[in-house]
Structure 1
Amino acid sequence: MDLASIGGIVIALVAILGAMMMEGGSIAQITQLTAAIIVIGGTIGAISVQFPLNVLLASAKGILGVFLHKDHDEEAVLKQLVEFANKARKSGIVSLDGDLASVHDPFLKQGLMLAVDGTESGEVRKILQLEIDNKSEMDEKVPQVLESAGAFAPTVGIIGAVLGLIQVMQHLDNIDEVGKGIAVAFVATIYGVALANLFCLPAAGKLKIRHKQHVMMQEMMLEGVISILEGLNPRMIETKLKHSSRTPERRRRRSDGQEEARGTRQP
């Protein structure tokens, strides 16, 4: 359980609702099922028009990652890679075949399997980098869905408020009902703004951070496997991976720059 996500939402709701009650309000005043249906249903409909179905299904699973998440133990992965490097240096890369069952990360396991099977380091790098890029392409769309929902929700809330005001206008002969109706109409706006700013946009930001951390971890695994395959000194591998603070974006820009440089050297 991600206590920061759960605690953040609880703190926000307690602060907002508590302040409202301190001013004499009540939770019943902002409890409107119709407004919730308009805002949630309208927002889901809007993002369904914008994104393909497979992206929406992936985002539905990704949203769970805001509350349920298991961080990678970078130190444990680094230690495991160094142990593999020591064993490969003493007994050969094929000796790691018996250790594959102890590798739980599918990405690292795939890289080690390629190395054990005798794949050249250049091909291993291409395969693993393609795996990272393909997975990243989908993972980057999940925050985009939440950001779009955060943009649509307040507008849909305004639509709900206008619909409520239309109903109010039909009862202008009863001033008491008009006052209550206006209050109810603006509940939809509250729902829209709250959904966007208390969940959708913050959740999108958290998923972006986690995506970057995940890519950096995979980049470290990739470099570790390549280093083992090339027979580098285990101490050098440990130092190389431990001090590899370059972000995936900078790595990708460096790679793109190298490709462009190769292209300019061709006749």
Structure 2
Amino acid sequence: MDLATVIGIVLGFGLILMAIMLGGELGMFINVPSLLIVIGGTIAAMFIKHKMSDVFGSVGIMMKAFLVKQENPDQVIGQLIDMANIARKDGILALEKVKSDDPFLQGAVNHCVDGADPEFLEGVLNKDLEYLADRHAKGIAIWEGIGETAPAFGMIGTLIGLVQMLATMDDPSSIGPAMAVALLTTLYGSIFANVIAIPIAVKLDMYSKDEQMTRQIIIDGMIGIQKGVNPRMLQEALKAALPPSMRDGE
């Protein structure tokens, strides 16, 4: 579990709630029509902009910001170098005994054992990487869209509330509720965008780039193994993808 995501959301809502409680009652900040305008309008816009399956799938994608299981690229490089030593000593076919929990790495090993040439292997793995990036981009785009759309519907709710207020200026008792709708929809849209949607989109983009980097390391490593690159030289080449602090314990 990514505790940073959980802590951030809890802290964000906690500070907002604290500010509300210090300045007045919680009940005055709850308005069902305002919530319907922001949440319902944002969902409607997402259905218009994206396929329905992608919109529903965005919920599962969001969970990756909480439950993502990241691979350590340094450990992946270690696995690849171990395989490079096995292949150098006993041949590529000896990798048949290698088993990995990473389906991408295992698929690459299987291709090698089946006799795929380096050009074919690189093409297949790069295509797999492109498809991964495309899938991630769709999910990220939805959450970025939510971050853009929620404040817009907050503004729509504000305009509705202002119209209602101006239309009933002769009735002072109706001005307060209309103004509440006007202001609360803007508040809801801003909170939904800046505490949930935009941070989640940024976090998902970061995880996507990390996963793509790890897969690129696997691609480069497996191609190096197939070409018979010296394991020590291969290790140095793969570690170039890591930050300096992770290279050889620096």
Corresponding residue for residue 27 of structure 1: 26
From 206, 210, 214, the equivalent of 1:213 is: 210
Q: CA deviation at 1:30?
A: 1.2
Count matched residues: 243
Q: Which blocks of at least 5 consecutive residues in structure 1 are unaligned?
A: 247-267
Preserved contact between residue 158 and residue 189 of structure 1 (Cα < 8 Å): yes
Preserved contact between residue 30 and residue 184 of structure 1 (Cα < 8 Å): no
Percent of paired sites with the same residue:
33
Q: TM-score, normalization: structure 2?
A: 0.90
Corresponding residue for residue 14 of structure 1: 14
Query: 2:177 & 2:43 partners in 1: Cα distance?
Result: 28
Corresponding residue for residue 130 of structure 1: 127
Q: CA deviation at 1:238?
A: 1.4
Q: CA deviation at 1:185?
A: 3.3
Query: 1:21 & 1:115 partners in 2: Cα distance?
Result: 63
Query: 1:220 & 1:202 partners in 2: Cα distance?
Result: 27
Residue 149 (structure 1) aligned with residue 137 (structure 2): no
Query: 1:245 & 1:83 partners in 2: Cα distance?
Result: 18
Query: 1:212 & 1:62 partners in 2: Cα distance?
Result: 15
Q: CA deviation at 1:168?
A: 4.4
Corresponding residue for residue 63 of structure 1: 62
Query: 2:161 & 2:221 partners in 1: Cα distance?
Result: 60
Residue 226 (structure 1) aligned with residue 223 (structure 2): yes
Which residue type is aligned with residue 45 of structure 1? A
Which residue type is aligned with residue 203 of structure 1? I
Q: CA deviation at 1:173?
A: 4.9
Preserved contact between residue 73 and residue 242 of structure 2 (Cα < 8 Å): no
Q: CA deviation at 1:33?
A: 2.4
Corresponding residue for residue 49 of structure 1: 48
Residue 140 (structure 1) aligned with residue 137 (structure 2): yes
Residue 192 (structure 1) aligned with residue 192 (structure 2): no
Q: CA deviation at 1:89?
A: 1.0
Corresponding residue for residue 78 of structure 1: 77
Corresponding residue for residue 239 of structure 1: 236
Name segments (4+ residues, structure 1) moved above 6 Å: none
- The verdict on how the C-alpha distance between 1:243 and 1:84 changes in structure 2, with shifts beyond 3 A counting, is same
Q: TM-score, normalization: structure 1?
A: 0.84
Preserved contact between residue 29 and residue 184 of structure 1 (Cα < 8 Å): no
**Aligned with 1:155: secondary structure?**
helix
Preserved contact between residue 147 and residue 197 of structure 2 (Cα < 8 Å): yes
Spell out, residue by residue over 1:49-84, the C-alpha distance to the aligned partner (whole angstroms, 9 max, x if none). Answer: 111234324423211111111111222211111111
